[in-house]
Chain A
Amino acid sequence: MLDKRLQSLGRHGVDFITGAGRAGALLIGALKPAGRGLKLLPLLIKQLYIVGVQSLIIIVVSGLFIGMVLSLQGYTILVGYGAEQSLGQMVALSLLRELGPVVSALLFAGRAGSALTAEIGLMKSNEQLSSLEMMAIDPLHQVIAPRFWAGIISLPLLSAIFSTVGILGGHLVGVDWLGVDTGAFWSVMQASVEWQEDIVNGGIKSLVFAVVVTWIALHKGYDAVPTSEGISKATTSTVVQSSLAILGLDFVLTALMFG
């Protein structure tokens, strides 16, 4: 009994380490485009469209609603202290520091990450990756690299768009509906938001999330058991693991930046 458990513990340990090793190799392979720079450009643009542009709608709509809810909740609390003038500050800081990077990364994991995993898993199962190999073309360069860079470029931009739309949503509810003074909304916000402290830090967070989510998604697809069951498992675990990684890393980064 104990024997079996020890064995399975050992197997899990070994699996984890080999998995981490393969994920590392994948990252290194994806990072050096090996003198194919120009040939990769059209592939990158295509992936930017698929990974980035096609995630725009969900990001804009979610950003709008989150900004509106923030503003509504914030107003009911602030108005109790007669501090509703600070609504702009509250909305902007919440979005820029936390909700923008985190929520857009979670949405990105669900929308783009899962699609990447499924796509690459399928390419593996119908031997497209093998046939690239046999054509003497490295699938890491042809398939993985453009998707990886597309993820890293897209997510920070999406998260900036998320925060911007969120602030506009906050303005819509706070100013246009609840009647906070528009001058106060913007000027308090402008006075309190710092470039380094808030905007740069938020950007760093979302860059880190971009690397982690895209990396997990690509690795899960590339390592998927090439059957329909294997691919569906891989897709699920992309979403679960990236979400956990985002939330865990968010705490660590917040502690480092603001702690």
Chain B
Amino acid sequence: MISSDNIIEISNLHFSREERAIYQDINLKVPRGKVTAIMGPSGIGKTTLLRLIGGQLKPSSGAIEFDGDDITQCNRKQLYKVRRKMGMLFQSGALFTEMSVFDNIAFPIREHTDLSESIIRKIVLMKLEAVGLRGAAKLFPSELSGGMARRAALARSIALDPELIMYDEPFAGQDPISMGVIVRLIRELNDALGLTSIVVSHDVEEVLSIADYVYIVANKTVIAHGTPEQLRHESSEQVIQFMQGKPDGPVPFHFPSDDYKKDIFNNA
């Protein structure tokens, strides 16, 4: 019965880019119907993790169970079927530059359903209203600010009412007002539509305010997990360092490198 409570179960996952290991033996569970946050320093592989879940990257070993299917074993056709249950908000928004905002959001609906244009129009306007961009329906992505583009992309990723939605850095580049709007939106969408959400971010406060469960990723694996309340009281140095944003501590701020002094004075 455990598996049906979790929409995703990642077990013993290994993944490396070229020679460099990104993940070594990571285990992670995403409870159904909840907002799960994945936090971690920049460049640690959070986006990579979302791509692994989406089946865009293949791990070197381990299993990623999504709603009963092992993503790592799926062929292309099965993968496409599984992905219809997923929505993903990319870090850069990834709107289609050749279409208006309206058509961007209508696009997945037109592709995957046979709904009439008048119904599609209603759905699109509803999604746009939810992100506060109904007035921008006719604009093209090049005419939007970075933050607006992110919100438009958010509307697109919920266009088909997926079961799981993955947000990659949804708060980056948002002003405090739209940040607040998005925080509330993620929560509301999650609860009203019965979605499951994964939020990847390093905005500690925002994440702790909406997440039901939090994973902190570093050193190629999960270093801590728990409810926001538990993490606030976590005594591990690594977690305290990350939550309070200190550069020095057990979590390295630097990309792996040779000794600094040696590198600087070595003029070979």
A interface vs B, CB < 8 Å?
Answer: 39, 122-123, 126-128, 130-131, 133-138
- B80, B94, B111: which contacts A131 (Cβ < 8 A)? B94
Pairs across A and B, CB under 8 Å, 27 listed: A122-B97, A126-B92, A126-B97, A127-B90, A127-B91, A127-B93, A127-B94, A128-B94, A128-B95, A128-B97, A130-B51, A130-B94, A131-B88, A133-B83, A134-B54, A134-B86, A134-B88, A135-B83, A135-B107, A135-B111, A136-B80, A136-B83, A136-B84, A136-B112, A137-B108, A137-B111, A138-B80
Instruction: Give the residues in chain B near A137, CB-CB below 8 Å.
Output: 108, 111
Interface residue ranges of B97-122 to A (CB < 8 Å): 97, 107-108, 111-112
Scoring A39, A123, A127 by chain B CB atoms within 10 A of each residue's CB, the highest score goes to A127
Size bracket of the B interface: 20 to 34
Judged by a CB distance under 8 angstroms, whether B262 is at the interface is no
As a 0/1 sequence over residues 61 to 80 of chain B, the CB contacts with chain A under 8 angstroms (1 = contact) are 00000000000000000001
Scoring A127, A133, A135, A136 by chain B CB atoms within 10 A of each residue's CB, the highest score goes to A135
Scoring A123, A126, A136 by chain B CB atoms within 10 A of each residue's CB, the highest score goes to A136
Give the CA-CA distance A136 to B113 in the complex, in Å: 13
Judged by a CB distance under 8 angstroms, whether B81 is at the interface is yes
Scoring A127, A130, A131, A134 by chain B CB atoms within 10 A of each residue's CB, the highest score goes to A134
Find out whether the CB atom of A127 lies under 8 angstroms from the CB atom of B54: no
List the A residue with the shortest CB-CB distance to B87: A134
Smallest beta-carbon distance A111→chain B, Å: 19
Give the CA-CA distance A134 to B159 in the complex, in Å: 13
- A39, A122, A130: which contacts B56 (Cβ < 8 A)? A130
Find out whether the CB atom of B108 lies under 8 angstroms from the CB atom of A135: yes
Contacts A131-B88, A134-B56, A136-B80: A126 and B108 contacting too (C-beta < 8 A)? no
Scoring B54, B91, B94 by chain A CB atoms within 10 A of each residue's CB, the highest score goes to B94
Judged by a CB distance under 8 angstroms, whether B140 is at the interface is no
Instruction: Give the residues in chain B near A126, CB-CB below 8 Å.
Output: 92-94, 97
